[in-house]
Amino acid sequence: MKVWGRFYRSDNGNYAMRIAIVNDSIMAVECLKRILVTTDRHQVAWVARDGSEAVMRCTSDKPDLILMDLVMPVMDGVEATRQIMQKSPCAILIVTASVDGRSSKVFQAIRAGAMDVVRTPSFDINANGKEAMKLLKKIDTIERLIAMEETVTRPPASATSNKAKDKEGVLVVIGSSTGGPQALATVLSSFPESFPASVIVVQHVDAQFAPSLASWLDSRTSLPVHTIKEGDRPIPGSIQIACTNDHLIMTPERTFAYSRKPMGNVFRPSVDVFFESVARNWKGKGIGVLLTGMGRDGAKGLLALRERGWHTISQDRDSSVIYGMPKAAAELNAAVRVLPLSNIGAALLQRIAFKDVA
């Protein structure tokens, strides 16, 4: 089931995003409206003055994107995001007056399913101002991600590589996006302290919130959770997380590095970029996992791992907050198994315990 709204055809025949604004400040609403109407690619679908109203409006008129404030009466942006993603999922961009001052609440909203965060533009800034342009850039990125939901291209098949493995151990690589933090917590919390594999996570999250994600996951799993620095290597019995806005890659020496390229990739860090570098350079055994997320990032990378002889798993439709990335993997036949979120941790444990790893 496709959960995103359909773009609206404007008077000039172009398609435009239907964008809802949720904010209790009249001044902020007017500022956002003014910025949105500077281009015919955006249409204001509706305005809600608090989170509760937004939840109700979404059930009857789901927009393509919601610009969600954090601090509001009746119901704040965190709880509104949580309920919308449960009842009528759509893309949500947090727009708040202070990103740094509300980092805890911002991260709660991201855990609940928000895609990104941007500072509310000042009312006295014109549409060409720095803050307004940053907002429009974020919206443009989300628009491109929504468009990607509709187009999945199967890459040409390639021959499965030699499955001979050395003694580097087992590597578990996990990619996730929208709804990913909670999905990651569900999978990782099932691992015991004796879990022998190295676990590497690439989650679409801004660098400023990566340490908060690592700390939050560390409190929900028996394994230590670390952010990855340049030059680090996989650590058996631990969870390591990409933590910059550049792409995490594995080098031929099996160390980790960050790369700005490919520059045009809207996903930063990209699951595809990381998975494909692992497929090229890791000589040991491995399992690849692709969880909930918007777009198709990770599908081609998961296929590259499968073609290298890895066991690959993707999350199923019903348990995904957004069935975009796992759907793309299914269409490419990249996943050996498609499982409900609640079964993925157990499946990993079983394969590793019985040494049933490609």
Distant-in-sequence contacts of 213-219, Cβ < 8 A, 24+ apart: 213/107, 213/181, 213/241, 214/241, 214/243, 216/107, 216/111, 216/181, 216/185, 217/181, 217/184, 217/185, 217/188, 217/241
β partners of residue 199? 172, 239
Q: Is 219 a catalytic residue?
A: no
Q: Is 356 a catalytic residue?
A: no
Task: State the catalytic residue, choosing from 64, 76, 177, 198.
Answer: 177
Q: Is 204 a catalytic residue?
A: yes
The pTM for the full model equals 0.84
**DSSP for 301-343, written as a single string:** HHHHHHHTT-EEEEE-TTT-SSBSHHHHHHHTT--SEEE-HHH
Helix (H) or strand (E) holding 285: strand 285-290
pLDDT in tens, the chain (358 residues): 333 445 554 555 556 889 999 999 999 999 999 999 888 889 999 999 999 999 999 999 999 999 999 999 999 999 999 999 999 999 999 999 888 778 889 999 999 999 999 989 876 555 447 888 889 999 998 888 877 665 544 444 444 444 434 456 899 999 999 999 999 999 999 999 999 999 999 999 999 899 999 999 999 999 999 999 999 999 999 999 999 999 999 999 999 999 999 988 888 899 999 999 999 999 999 999 999 999 999 999 999 999 999 999 999 999 999 999 999 999 999 999 999 999 999 999 999 886 666 5
The residue with tokens 């157990």 is 346
Task: State the catalytic residue, choosing from 297, 311, 314, 320.
Answer: 297
Task: State the catalytic residue, choosing from 204, 270, 311, 320.
Answer: 204
Domains by residue range for the chain, with CATH: 8-148 (3.40.50.2300), 170-353 (3.40.50.180)
